[in-house]
């Protein structure tokens, strides 16, 4: 979706098991939910 | 482009407000997610910056990742924090941009805004300002920001396309969006997607 909305140079960091040890862990693991860092850039020139 | 929304925007916002109102006023209660300094440590935040912050700036932190991990914030940059909560990521950004930079945190929950604003006053951080607003309608002028950050917020917005469009509007050309959020590796059944309780825990 980032690229669909005009962002470029998208990078995604490694997954973090952010719910591990919390009460939401079971539900998170059921759907393989992890936290990620994302980086994207607004182009210098917008697409026409 | 229009996207079909699977939940009612206003109902979801009210449920999110209710959840994070609790996190603001009772940060040490048990939630389905981690909070506070242990979470900041787990996510790899710069310990020197976090240690320098007062408890009230950190205790209600409920992020899901580290938006500073893929790109360093530079001195002098102007940063918008979408869904700033009690202000933790905004205060980290403020430490990184220094006195020549600026940070605007935007949140929709009154209790979070009250907490972040009083912490900014306590820290005498005039370069940090907290404004009331929605991720889909940021109270920031076009092209103001060098960087937009966010942490665990966009997944709680019903219309993600509208959020990204709005972030692009407030970024200057060439500006960076660096955020943390959750993503699922297994598809969530449609009936679960429409269950609003599951969005907030």
pLDDT value at B52 more than 90: yes
| Predicted local confidence at residue A27, as pLDDT | 85
pLDDT value at B3 more than 60: no
| Predicted local confidence at residue B2, as pLDDT | 46
- Two tokens at B12? 């979801």
Minimal C-alpha gap between B45 and chain A (Å): 12
Q: Per-residue pLDDT averaged across B17-44, rounded? A: 91
Q: What ipTM describes this predicted complex?
A: 0.92
Burial (0-12, 13-18, 19+ Cβ within 10 Å), B198: middle
Task: Note if the pTM is more than 0.90.
Answer: yes
Q: What is the pLDDT of residues A1-48, one digit of tens each?
A: 899 999 999 999 999 999 998 988 888 888 888 999 999 999 998 765
Minimal C-alpha gap between B80 and chain A (Å): 14
Could you tell me if A48 lies within 8 Å of chain B, comparing CB atoms? no
């Amino acid at each position: 979706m980032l690229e669909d909305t005009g962002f470029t140079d998208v990078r995604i960091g490694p997954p973090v098991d952010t719910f591990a040890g919390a009460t939401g862990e079971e539900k998170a693991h059921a759907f393989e939910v992890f936290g990620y860092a994302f980086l994207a850039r607004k182009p210098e020139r917008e697409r026409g | 482009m229009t996207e079909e929304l699977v939940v009612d925007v206003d109902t979801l916002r009210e449920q999110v407000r209710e959840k994070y109102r609790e996190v603001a006023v009772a940060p040490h209660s048990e939630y389905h997610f981690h909070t506070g300094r242990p979470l900041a440590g787990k996510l790899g935040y710069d310990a020197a910056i976090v240690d320098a912050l007062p408890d009230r700036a950190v205790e209600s932190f409920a992020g899901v990742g580290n938006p500073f991990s893929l790109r360093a914030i530079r001195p002098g940059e102007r940063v918008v924090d979408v869904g700033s909560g009690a202000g933790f990521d905004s205060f980290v950004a403020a430490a990184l941009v220094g006195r020549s930079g600026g940070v605007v945190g935007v949140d929709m929950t009154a209790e979070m805004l009250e907490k972040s604003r009083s912490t900014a006053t306590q820290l005498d951080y005039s370069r940090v300002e907290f404004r009331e607003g929605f991720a889909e309608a940021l109270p920031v002028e076009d092209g103001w920001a060098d960087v937009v950050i966010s942490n665990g917020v966009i997944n709680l917005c019903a219309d993600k396309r509208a959020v990204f469009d709005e972030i692009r509007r407030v970024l200057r050309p060439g500006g960076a969006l660096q955020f943390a959020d959750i993503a699922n590796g297994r598809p969530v059944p449609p009936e679960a997607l429409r269950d609003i309780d599951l969005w907030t825990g």
